């Protein structure tokens, strides 16, 4: 059995710029991005743009960034587009964090030279991060052992099997000491907004998010939405259809008998499918769908809690509050207070 005790490391370099008090917060901070072949362009852009916007809002270059490849040659993103200039990794200089930027076919993109370079950077106490599937490279190098980490949901199951020492989660992003990992798509934006908040405060982070039409700054308690088809596979069409009907009937939840009739399955068949493939009963799964929708409404709209209660199929505010607390650890009213606190 592998031990999952966290590794104790010396305080990393990045802490000097991210944890000091505000008088030192405007010290220039440099992030480097190592682009692997077929890297995700949207993930890399969502990581860089918040830094640019923070500089613009502050009127000074608080952040600097650079893009690298292992040998300095330009590599293509998964869309076929290229970013330039790219310089060799050994020309990087001193940085606060190096992010490995992955994309499709990441296994083929991880070479012995890359693994050696990453291990050397770790030995020099360079803080390391990963965007999208870049976490695979860090895991292959043994640099996520005993760390909490995040990767795109398509890769979660495979990495859990291949790297049992890595404590993978389905969070949008994870910060564990000097390791910074996130999923793909817009998740790097959330990671950077949180790093900006740590360095410059919630007000600047919120202003950056508003420039990009982002309703709120998501935290590391937010989780990736993993489609059911990714959890159970496309062959489980009956189960997927049941879940679709549940998602289409949030305000007025259907009985399991009505769902069974609509899908052509028996109630017993549905219960067996949920127990076998999701390790839960249909009623619990349906409740979690409704609670997830309620949280989205609380976080992304100004709807009164009573209206959210009705919109998500709960008969009374006390029942809604109890279910919400059991799921998320606090009542709906506290969720709204947390939003207000983050924006101040």
C-alpha to C-alpha distance for 37 and 14, rounded to whole angstroms? 27
> Which residue ranges form the domains of the chain, and what is each CATH number?
15-19+26-211 (3.40.50.880), 228-342 (1.10.10.60)
Tokens at residue 192, please? Answer: 């950077």
- The pLDDT assigned to 92 comes to 94
The distance between the two most distant Cα atoms of the chain, rounded to a whole number of Å, is 65
- C-alpha atoms less than 13 angstroms from C-alpha of 63 in its C-beta half-sphere: 25
Tokens at residue 180, please? Answer: 């910074």
**3-class secondary structure, 110:** coil
- C-alpha atoms less than 13 angstroms from C-alpha of 262 in its C-beta half-sphere: 16
- Beta bridge partners, 174, equal 181
- The pLDDT assigned to 226 comes to 63
Per-residue CA distances from 192 to 38, 45, 86, 157, 219 (Å):
22, 11, 21, 26, 11
C-alpha to C-alpha distance for 32 and 16, rounded to whole angstroms? 17
Q: For the chain of 344 residues, list the mean pLDDT of each consecutive stretch of 10.
A: 38 42 67 97 97 96 96 95 92 96 94 97 97 96 96 82 90 94 95 95 93 85 70 69 89 95 93 88 93 85 90 94 92 82 58
- The pLDDT assigned to 153 comes to 83
C-alpha to C-alpha distance for 151 and 172, rounded to whole angstroms? 8
Tokens at residue 159, please? Answer: 């990495």
Q: Among 170, 172, 110, 171, which residue's Cα sits nearest to residue 143?
A: 110
């Amino acid at each position: 059995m592998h031990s999952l005790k966290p590794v104790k490391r010396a305080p990393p370099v990045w802490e000097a710029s991210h944890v000091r008090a505000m008088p030192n917060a405007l010290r220039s901070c440099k992030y480097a991005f190592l682009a692997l072949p077929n890297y995700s362009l949207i993930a890399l852009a969502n990581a860089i743009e918040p830094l640019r916007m923070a500089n613009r809002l502050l009127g000074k270059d608080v952040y600097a960034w650079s893009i690298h490849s292992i040998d300095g040659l330009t590599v293509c993103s998964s869309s076929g587009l290229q970013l330039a200039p790219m310089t060799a990794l050994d020309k990087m200089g001193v940085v606060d964090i190096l992010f490995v930027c992955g994309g499709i076919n990441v296994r083929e993109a991880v070479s012995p030279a890359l693994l050696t370079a990453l291990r050397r950077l770790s030995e020099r106490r360079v803080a390391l991060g990963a965007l999208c599937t870049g976490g695979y490279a860090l895991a292959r190098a043994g640099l996520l052992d005993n760390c909490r980490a995040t990767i795109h949901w398509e890769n979660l199951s495979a990495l859990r099997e291949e790297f049992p020492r890595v404590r993978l989660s389905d969070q949008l992003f994870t910060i564990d000491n000097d390791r910074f990992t996130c999923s793909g798509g817009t998740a790097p934006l959330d990671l950077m907004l949180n790093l900006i908040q740590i360095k410059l405060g919630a007000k600047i982070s919120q202003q950056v998010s508003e420039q990009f039409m982002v309703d709120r700054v998501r935290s590391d308690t937010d989780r990736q939405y993993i489609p059911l088809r990714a959890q159970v596979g496309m062959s489980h069409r009956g189960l997927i259809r049941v879940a679709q009907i549940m998602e289409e009937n949030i305000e007025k939840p259907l009985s399991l008998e009505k769902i069974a009739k609509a899908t052509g399955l028996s109630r017993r068949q549905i219960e067996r499918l949920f127990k076998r493939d999701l390790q839960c009963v249909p009623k619990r799964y349906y409740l979690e769908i409704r609670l997830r929708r309620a949280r989205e409404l609380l976080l992304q709209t100004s709807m009164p809690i009573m209206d959210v209660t009705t919109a998500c199929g709960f008969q009374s505010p006390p029942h809604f509050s109890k279910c919400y607390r059991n799921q998320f650890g606090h009542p709906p009213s506290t969720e709204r207070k947390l939003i207000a606190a983050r924006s101040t």
